[in-house]
């Protein structure tokens, strides 16, 4: 690293929040401190010589009102972190005569305790040091520290809710999700966080949400205005409602395709038949003799009336997910990744079949866009 790069490493990155959010934080900090100060001064009495407001509460206000989504700003972190740390500092002052060692021990023990009790809060270190150096008693942790914290948190809940910020910000781990087809899964994120092995000032669910948003933005940037018409397979194989099962099955096997759109005479979609439809009607859950049952299914009975299906219209899926030719490919990412679709018929402005978009087409488009 050059000297120039080293010096620039001290330069802070810009805060990516607008002016409205900054003023919201400013007003919130003033509101929180005002509530805590007025109430605690009233409780202590104007003539009281003891403190009724502690300095670490100012740092806590920055977290509660400026970064309410931070794990370090949550109610238990504020109340537990400050109060327990102040208690540790008071005990260290009683047991260690030298204030230098008392202060160091208080901060160290407070950090360890906050880690253990899941209430890590940076102002807690200041509360521990203040108690250790101030010669205060154990009651100092209750008043003013605990009282200040409770009032600040109550003000934070009220103010953040009124100004459109979620507080408390849920810190529970999200339920395991199925693989949604993105470039990373929930398990991948857990492994990365474990490897990083440092405290992040962002909750896990927010981090996951931000990464997925960034991934979606990347898809949008790579795909740009690429439409279904640009990547679809044109003039796809299609059959009509009355096409026999034998003919449809043979066509799918010879052409090595897994889905056939079902169209009417105007080439409008009325359904779709897939390999899965054939398997389902042949009884795929019974593996023994599946081949024989499939042959029996597609064999024409030759009778006027039959209880077994004989045309594709009898086994097709009627609810078909379609896409317009002008639809952007980026909008279909969740359809393929989350909804489990493998084939999407593409229609024109008159809802006539003009193509089909398969997972293979989608992957090829993704590869070409990523290679640019």
Number of folded domains that form the chain = 3
Are 153 and 192 within one domain? no
Are 195 and 140 within one domain? no
> Does the residue 174 lie in any domain?
no
Are 147 and 263 within one domain? no
Instruction: Tell me the pLDDT tens digit for each residue of 106-148.
Output: 999 999 999 999 999 999 999 999 999 998 899 999 999 999 9
> pLDDT at position 304, please?
46
- Give residue 335's domain range: 228-371
Given a contact cutoff of 8 angstroms between Cβ atoms, the answer to whether 156 and 32 are in contact is yes
Strands of the sheet containing 353-358, edge to edge, are: 233-234, 353-358, 343-347, 323-324
Rounded to the nearest 10 degrees, how much is the dihedral formed by the CA atoms of 247, 251, 257, 260? -40
Instruction: Tell me the pLDDT tens digit for each residue of 31-76.
Output: 999 999 999 999 988 656 578 999 999 999 999 999 998 999 999 9
Find, among 70, 145, 144, the residue nearest to 110 by Cα: 145
> Does the residue 34 lie in any domain?
yes
Question: 87 or 293: whose pLDDT is higher?
Answer: 87
Instruction: Tell me the pLDDT tens digit for each residue of 219-265.
Output: 666 666 778 888 888 888 899 998 988 888 888 888 888 888 999 98
Are 352 and 367 within one domain? yes
> pLDDT at position 293, please?
62
> pLDDT at position 27, please?
97
Are 154 and 285 within one domain? no
Confidence of residue 176 (pLDDT cuts 50, 70, 90): very low
Are 340 and 282 within one domain? yes
Q: Is the dihedral of CA 25, 29, 30, 34 positive or negative?
A: positive
Are 84 and 211 within one domain? no
Confidence of residue 213 (pLDDT cuts 50, 70, 90): confident
Are 48 and 118 within one domain? yes
Are 135 and 271 within one domain? no
> Does the residue 3 lie in any domain?
no
Q: Is the dihedral of CA 190, 191, 194, 199 positive or negative?
A: negative
Are 233 and 313 within one domain? yes
Q: Nearest 5 degrees, angle CA 103-CA 201-CA 71?
A: 85
- Average confidence (pLDDT) over 301-313: 67
> pLDDT at position 175, please?
45
Question: 65 or 357: whose pLDDT is higher?
Answer: 65
Are 272 and 345 within one domain? yes
> Does the residue 175 lie in any domain?
no
CATH of the domain at 341: 3.10.580.10
Question: 168 or 183: whose pLDDT is higher?
Answer: 168
Are 75 and 60 within one domain? yes
Q: Is the dihedral of CA 143, 144, 150, 155 positive or negative?
A: positive
> Does the residue 179 lie in any domain?
no
Model confidence pTM above 0.75: no
Report the chain's mean pLDDT, rounded to a whole number: 84
């Amino acid at each position: 690293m050059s000297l120039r790069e080293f010096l620039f490493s001290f330069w802070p990155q810009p805060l990516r929040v607008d002016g409205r959010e900054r003023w919201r934080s400013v007003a919130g900090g003033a509101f929180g401190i005002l509530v805590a100060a007025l109430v605690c001064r009233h409780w202590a009495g104007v003539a009281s010589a003891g403190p009724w407001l502690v300095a670490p509460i100012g740092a806590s206000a920055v977290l509660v009102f400026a970064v309410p989504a931070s794990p370090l700003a949550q109610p238990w972190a504020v109340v537990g972190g400050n109060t327990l740390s102040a208690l540790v500092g008071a005990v260290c002052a009683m047991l260690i005569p030298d204030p230098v060692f008392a202060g160091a021990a208080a901060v160290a023990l407070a950090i360890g305790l906050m880690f253990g009790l899941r209430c890590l809060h940076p102002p807690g270190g200041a509360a521990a040091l203040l108690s250790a150096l101030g010669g205060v008693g154990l009651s100092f942790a209750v008043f003013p520290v605990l009282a200040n914290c409770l009032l600040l948190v109550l003000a934070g809940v009220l103010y953040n809710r009124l100004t459109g910020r979620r507080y408390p910000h849920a810190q529970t781990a999200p339920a395991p999700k199925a693989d949604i087809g993105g470039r990373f899964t929930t398990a991948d994120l857990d492994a990365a966080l474990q490897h990083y092995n440092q405290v992040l000032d962002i909750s896990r669910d927010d981090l996951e949400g931000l990464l997925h948003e960034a991934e979606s933005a990347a898809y949008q940037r790579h795909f740009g205005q690429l439409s279904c018409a640009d990547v679809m397979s044109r003039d796809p194989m299609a059959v009509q409602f009355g096409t026999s099962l034998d003919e449809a099955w043979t066509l799918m096997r010879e052409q090595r395709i897994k889905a056939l759109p079902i169209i009417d005479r105007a080439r409008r979609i009325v359904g779709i038949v897939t390999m899965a439809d054939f398997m389902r009607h042949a009884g795929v859950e019974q593996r023994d003799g599946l081949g024989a049952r499939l042959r029996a299914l597609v064999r024409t009975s030759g009778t006027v009336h039959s209880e077994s299906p004989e045309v594709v219209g009898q086994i097709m899926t009627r609810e078909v997910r379609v896409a317009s030719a002008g639809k952007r490919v980026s909008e279909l990412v969740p359809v393929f990744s989350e909804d489990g679709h493998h084939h999407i018929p593409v229609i024109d402005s008159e809802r006539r079949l003009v193509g089909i978009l398969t997972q293979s087409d989608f992957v090829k488009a993704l590869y070409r866009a990523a290679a640019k």
